[in-house]
Amino acid sequence: MYSESPPKKKIRKIISRILYTCLFKFLPSSTLPIIGELSKRLRTWAVRGFADEVGRNVNIQRMAEITSKLRIGDKSGIGAYSRINGPVNIGKYVNMGPECTIFTSNHCHDRTDITMQQQGLTEPQLVEIGDDVWIGARVIIMPGVKIGNGCIIGAAAVVTHDIPDYTIACGVPAKVVKKREMTDFYLFGCKEQEINA
């Protein structure tokens, strides 16, 4: 197996970051016919060059700000105009609406003898998002949060604490309002679809 030398790998990361930031993130939405698929592939190719790990068939929508410390699983997506800062692990089959923000650090504010601007930032904390999660539009996820498998996070929620598996959470701050049950599948009129691996 071919392995790049450290200088070549560093150059590849820099070129990929420049291509994404200056060109590919501005391409049209991946929902458009023909040109959308090309845009999706170019964005994913560039992000794969600088991010820690990018799975198969990932959809990074236009204008998303991406950290190099991103790990994202197969068939997951990042919404248009979303921002992901610092270390973030996103599982497989994750749907993310537009304009979501994931923070991994915050401003220090413990001291009162100097301004908050002078206190700097906290150490980055890993944000983890499980498999098969649906994150609504404009959701904000705060540092150190873990969202379990099968969760639904309602639009405009602010997630400040961990969300357990197979629950629905919404609000500011986000609170669990319901546990997902097998009967929900039939109540919402959903039909089974085969998931191609």
Find the distance separating the first CA and the last CA of the chain, reported in whole Å. 25
Q: What is the mean pLDDT of residues 158-186?
A: 90
pTM: 0.87
What percentage of the chain has pLDDT greater than the value 70?
A: 89
Give the start-to-end residue ranges of the domains of the chain. 56-105+121-187
pLDDT exceeds cutoff 90 at 157: yes
- pLDDT above 90 covers a percentage of the chain that reads 81
Identify the active-site residue in 9, 56, 107, 161.
Answer: 107
Q: Indicate the DSSP class of residue 59.
A: E
- Catalytic annotation present for 107: yes
Q: What pLDDT does residue 186 have?
A: 54
Separation between Cα atoms, residue 145 and residue 158, nearest integer Å:
11
> Which superfamily is assigned to 56-105+121-187 in CATH?
Hexapeptide repeat proteins (2.160.10.10)
pLDDT category of residue 3 using cuts at 50, 70 and 90: low
CA distance 160 to 146: 10
CA distances from 22 to 17, 26, 192 (A): 8, 8, 40
Give 140's strand partners: 101, 158
Asked if residue 40 lies in contact with residue 21, where contact means CB atoms within 8 angstroms, the answer is no
- Tracing tokens 């379990």 back to the chain, one arrives at 148
